[in-house]
Structure 1
Amino acid sequence: MIQHPQDFDHHYVDLNRIRMHYVQAGHGHELLVLLHGFPECWWSWRHLLALVRDTPALAARYSVIAPDLRGYNETDRPGWGYELDVLVQDVVELIRSTGRRRAIVAGHDWGGNIAWSLAITRPTWVERLIVLNCPHPALFAAAIGTNWRQMRRSWYIAFFQLPALPELLIRANGYAFIERAFRGLAANPARFTDADIGMFTSAIAAPGAATAAVNYYRALIQQGPRGMFKGTGMRVSAPTLLIWGERDSALGKELTYGTERFAPDLRIEYIGDASHWVQQDQPERVNRSILAFLAQPR
């Protein structure tokens, strides 16, 4: 059993044939769901969770839940079910488990891909959309096919299609990959404490967790969206905030250009001194941006 910090409320729920772990802050009527990316866990949202927990007015307004996504950390790690439509259904059922039929959904990296896809294919479930350093799926697909610079940046997607080798890389030298990924790529490495690195390392070192994390990429290429976007026009009707750390070594800023064609009610905020790990590099700035966006009338 992974030892989680005890100053957050931890919960488990059975949904979509798995048991999902999530952390909650606040008890308000507005539900905000926070989706993490690779190779993370709910802890990547620790700064926003702590802010809501420690601010009575925010705790009274929002119920913020941050799950460990399928295959990660304390959530079940089945050998199947990493296709995008399944991941979207996980979030739908998580929202439903709270007794609600609508939520504000925020996602970073892979969580952003799930959030975009949820807003496109299941729009009634998304009240507002917040995405951090993850391009709209249509723009990313176009860039992978035409943008040589982005193709080079995305080399790891092809590498992750190999059997076993990606997991060996992740596990090598006591999971040194984790510290390299976070501190090595961060704009502000000091933001990642030893405790933070320890949390992410423990999460990916759980039995089967490395394979589960890589399976997101394998399913993306091997299965594709499986027709889930057919007839949608790839459009998002919900008010959308796109936050982008400009020092992202994996995803170029140009991937944001043209997003308004797919999300007409769009606001974009670029943060110069932030990497791909934008909400951890610049937590105060990101938290302010999110709360300001949520305070705006629809």
Structure 2
Amino acid sequence: MAVSMMTEVQHRFIETNGIRLHYVTRGEGPLLLLLHGFPEFWYSWRHQIPEFAQDYTVVALDLRGYNDSDKPEGVDAYRMPELVKDIAGVIRGLGYERCVLAGHDWGGAIAWAFAYEYPELLEALIVLNIPHPARFRAGLQMPQQLLKSSYIGFFQLPVLPELVIQAGDYAALTYAFRGMAVRKDTFSDEDIATYKEAASKPGALTAMLNYYRAIPSSPFFQKSWGILEVPTLMIWGEEDTALSKELSMQTEQYVSDFHLRYIPNCSHWVQQEQPEQVNRYMREFLALERRLHGQA
């Protein structure tokens, strides 16, 4: 999959918010912009790119700090306001007025923040295994979720997290993917090697961890939240070991047009572990939104 996926997409760069971001693209039509999570890069969407390129211009971004995108120095460069500005610049820089935005994990957190900041740029929002920020904040009051999220505190330490993740040929990455997955054949040796290669690029690992180190100083995690008017689909792998299923519940109180789909026997890596189910739910949601808005 890795070799064929690498050759079937076009690799490009775009200037936005004072940095250069790498992305891959395939297809023609309305823009579907895909945002990956930690510790991934655009490759985590390898099962969605060919599927949705039949109807969309699919763009899978390397977020700042990841893989071949620029890696600005300092924790402040990874605060949520900067991450959101990156996405606005990408959409406009590609020549689109609106898009469908999909995000998983950290990409989903950015997508939530973006939807509140720039709702006029979105046709629809799709988030995968990432709770609404208000629900996540509430979830941290639960002992079970607090324990599951303890890694966030560890990642904010200087130097040590980098050393731990790099040890044993990035054994922590292998464990993160295969250890958390329900289906143990989800990630091939080639997939794991591809993720290790991206994380080992100069400056990448520190940049990736700086997303977590920026949390205490980011207003995104302290603000109050109103009602989001952007049509939203949440897809949730029920066996997520990092995020409790309870975090997905009660989200409808924050989103006026909300759709929730659970996938049983599926981990945090939902779009990689159950791609056919994820693709089906995404297609059903997007088709529904097109019909509701009178689009072909």
* Deviations 1:137-192, CA, capped at 9 Å, x for gaps: 01101111x21110000001110111101111111111111111001110112021
Task: Give the number of aligned pairs.
Answer: 285
* Deviations 1:218-237, CA, capped at 9 Å, x for gaps: 1012334287x56xx33321
Q: Distance in 1 between matches of 2:280 and 2:48?
A: 10
* Deviations 1:21-76, CA, capped at 9 Å, x for gaps: 00111111x111000000000000000112234xxxx2xx3111000000000001
Hey, what does 1:181 align to over in structure 2?
A: 176
Equivalent position to 2:277, from 273, 285, 295: 285
Hey, what does 1:32 align to over in structure 2?
A: 32
User: Does the 8 Å CA contact 1:33/1:105 hold for their aligned counterparts?
Assistant: yes
Within-5 A mapping of 1:1-298: 5-28=6-29, 30-53=30-53, 58=54, 61-80=55-74, 81-144=77-140, 146-225=141-220, 229=223, 233-296=225-288, 297-298=291-292
Q: Distance in 2 between matches of 1:235 and 1:164?
A: 39
User: Does the 8 Å CA contact 1:70/1:76 hold for their aligned counterparts?
Assistant: yes
**Which ranges of 4 or more aligned residues in structure 1 deviate by more than 4 Å?**
none
Q: Distance in 2 between matches of 1:119 and 1:52?
A: 21
Q: Distance in 1 between matches of 2:187 and 2:268?
A: 13
**Amino acid in the other structure paired with 2:63:** L
* Deviations 1:219-256, CA, capped at 9 Å, x for gaps: 012334287x56xx333211110000000000000001
TM-score scaled by length of structure 1: 0.92
Q: Distance in 2 between matches of 1:113 and 1:175?
A: 25
**Amino acid in the other structure paired with 1:38:** F
Task: Decide whether aligned partners of structure 1 residues 179 and 7 sit closer, same or farther in structure 2, where only a CA change above 3 A counts.
Answer: same
How far 1:6 moved relative to its partner? Answer: 2.0
Q: Distance in 1 between matches of 2:221 and 2:38?
A: 22
Unaligned residue ranges in structure 1 (runs of 5+): none
Q: Distance in 2 between matches of 1:118 and 1:235?
A: 14
Partner SS, residue 6 of structure 2: coil
Unaligned residue ranges in structure 2 (runs of 5+): none
Q: Distance in 2 between matches of 1:259 and 1:276?
A: 18
